[in-house]
Structure 1
Amino acid sequence: MIDRQGGMRSALGSRIPLASLIQTLAVAEHLSFYRAANALGVSQSSVSARIKALEEDLGILLFERNTRGVRLTEAGRLFVERVSAGVEHLDHAVKSAGMAALGECGRLRVGVHGLIPHSFLANLIGQYRSIYPGIEMEIAESTAREALMHLRADQIDIAFVVGTPDPPDCHSRPIWQEPLVAALPDSHALAVQEHVTWADLAGEIFLVRPGGPGPQVHDHILMRLSGQWPVPSILRVGVERASLLSMVGQGFGITLLGAASSLSVVAGVRFLPIADEPELIVFSAIWSPFNRNAALRNLLDLADEMRRSVSA
């Protein structure tokens, strides 16, 4: 069973029973067929027979037997070292596969509209990372349309978006909701009030982003103000959320955001609830029905648990 270069034929390794390798390691550890058999809970004769059969298959003497017990030959020592490393790798692979099946290790790719400190989404991701430290999380910010494209291309596992989309090829579920608030410069005449109304906001310059929840905010402003007052002035600004709020603080205009944004202090900006706004902003999760990632399932379960605790 040895080739001319002195190595075992590659096909032989795949035919060696794992039990033979485990028993070989046990004998090498205890240097006794009797103690190895006791440790494994099998008969001494079965251990002796397996080792002998393995040595015959290999054409190598692994153990020298004598009346005082057994000891490894040099070939046996090298064989046991390699087998021991292989079994450890196999054990690690089995454990890793089991953890992945439970969603305790692996990778989870998440698309978001933005991460706002202390928001439901930020708390969800924070708690998830605390519960599942073995999961490598990748966060990507995008619009709802881009997130859906990324899902279909299997570039992300789940996306959190504004609204309640219902794409025919994806699962979706409302996860949380927030009141709508107006962000104004703290020097604005309305900033002294406890709240504002849509009538108060008519005639203002609204700043909206083309990304994140910007498109939904744009449509909501038109829905609330068109037909009752002059056509609202909406200015699209291609900046990130922090820069948008900075522009508000500098007097470029006002903007609308979810109430989570008001949880953070922003210099020069006052956040006010809109008293006559009847709707809450809904945020939903979207994912592929073909995604079997257990880490995704655990994230959705945690989101449901957190939503119930907030509603209680």
Structure 2
Amino acid sequence: MTSLIQVLAVAEYLNFRHAANALGVSQSSVSARVKTLEENLGVLLFERHARGVRLTQAGRHIIEGIAAALDQLDHTIRTAGMLARGERGHLRVGVHALIPGGFLSTLLRLYREQYPGIEVEIIEDTARDGLTQLRTGRLDIAFVVGVPELSDCHSRRIWTEPLVAALPDRHPLASQTTVAWTDLARETFLVRHGGTGPQVYDHIVLRLAGRCYAPSILRFEVERSTILSMVGQGFGITITGAATSLATTSGVVFLPVVDEPEPITFSAVWSPFNRGAALRNLLTIASKMDWPYGSSRPDS
């Protein structure tokens, strides 16, 4: 590497003494290294004359190649450093939903602003499918409802939201400030097959268990926004995290469920084998975020 740098310096200054002064080494050292390189290559790089040197045709070709190679090496080294710091690369994130103004959408916006060199890929799916993709290496991190206890994955509580009921604005309960599960027991619930739908379904069944009649739950293969639109049209009601109310939905009111024992917890899950800086930087931003409903800030 030293010989190549000295050859480039001679090619730039076309003078051994000037090249040596620029590099802070002796002229004899530069001359010796250039001569050794020429002998090893079997090619004369410079034509020597009294006032300096001149590149030969073969020397010009080799110098161009050396310069290009060193530029590529420099780029490779800088890129490797950026990858190691999490400033370049790719991050695949599994989510249950992205609500404008919600924790996840805010987190990803902040992350992309701070690390514009990271390509963020968003995959929306159920928690079960997200964990499957995580285990098979198709996701770097998944955000799920609850606090999963997984022997093969790391997890961390990230934020919480109160549970709210979404009702049509013309519903008899819509004028109340809150509702209880007993108020909702005879309602028809609308639930998605995808996203957090399976967990919402299980939660409704759990809360209304032990009654003399089974809860009425209709499941649909639609997006979250469609479920809320159906609520607004009077098809039924649904339950969701309070952040959903940040997205205005025509004809829908959101009321806190007062007898819900605790807010909904959302966790991040990732593979213990993933020690990438891109993932670590995302978790760091998440741990420092202010969130009106509540966040979990790890001690370490």
Q: TM-score, normalised by structure 2?
A: 0.94
Distance 2:196 2:122 in 1: 17
Distance 1:263 1:20 in 2: 64
Give the residue type in structure 1 aligned to 2:107. Answer: L
Alignment map for 1:25-36 (pairs within 5 Å): 25-36=8-19
- Structure 1 residue 41, shift from structure 2 partner: 2.3
Paired residue for 1:157? 140
- Structure 1 residue 24, shift from structure 2 partner: 1.1
Paired residue for 1:99? 82
Distance 1:160 1:272 in 2: 25
Counterpart contact for 2:142–2:270, Cα < 8 Å = yes
- Structure 1 residue 48, shift from structure 2 partner: 1.0
Paired residue for 1:73? 56
Paired residue for 1:252? 235
Greater mean deviation of Cα atoms: 253-262 or 22-31: 22-31
**Is 1:55 aligned to 2:38, yes or no?**
yes
Counterpart contact for 1:209–1:237, Cα < 8 Å = yes
**Is 1:134 aligned to 2:117, yes or no?**
yes
Paired residue for 2:274? 291
Report the aligned-residue RMSD.
1.6
Greater mean deviation of Cα atoms: 302-311 or 69-78: 302-311
Q: Deviations over 1:134-162 (max 9, x none)?
A: 00111111111111111111111111111
3-state SS of 2:173 partner = helix
* CA distance 1:308–1:261, shift in 2 (3 Å): closer
Paired residue for 1:194? 177
Counterpart contact for 1:202–1:229, Cα < 8 Å = no
Counterpart contact for 1:176–1:307, Cα < 8 Å = no
3-state SS of 1:292 partner = coil
Q: Deviations over 1:90-115 (max 9, x none)?
A: 10000000110010101111111111
Paired residue for 1:225? 208
Alignment map for 1:146-185 (pairs within 5 Å): 146-185=129-168
Distance 2:25 2:137 in 1: 49
Distance 2:129 2:107 in 1: 22
Q: Deviations over 1:23-52 (max 9, x none)?
A: 111111121222222222222211111110
Give the residue type in structure 2 aligned to 1:192. Answer: S
3-state SS of 1:35 partner = helix
Q: Deviations over 1:150-208 (max 9, x none)?
A: 11111111111111112111111111111111111111111122221112111000011
- Structure 1 residue 231, shift from structure 2 partner: 2.0
**Is 1:21 aligned to 2:4, yes or no?**
yes
Distance 2:24 2:266 in 1: 57
Paired residue for 2:286? 303
Q: What is the percentage of aligned positions where both structures have the same residue? A: 64
Q: Deviations over 1:41-70 (max 9, x none)?
A: 222211111110000111111111112111
Paired residue for 1:3? none
Greater mean deviation of Cα atoms: 73-82 or 92-101: 73-82
Counterpart contact for 1:175–1:307, Cα < 8 Å = no
- Structure 1 residue 229, shift from structure 2 partner: 5.9
Distance 1:127 1:192 in 2: 37
Paired residue for 1:113? 96
Counterpart contact for 2:103–2:291, Cα < 8 Å = no
Moved over 6 A (4+): none
Distance 1:267 1:34 in 2: 80
Give the residue type in structure 1 aligned to 2:51. Answer: R
3-state SS of 2:174 partner = helix
Counterpart contact for 1:108–1:295, Cα < 8 Å = yes
Distance 2:272 2:174 in 1: 46
Paired residue for 2:191? 208
Give the residue type in structure 1 aligned to 2:52. Answer: G
Distance 2:170 2:199 in 1: 27
**Is 1:37 aligned to 2:33, yes or no?**
no
Unaligned runs of 5+ in 1: 1-17
Unaligned runs of 5+ in 2: none
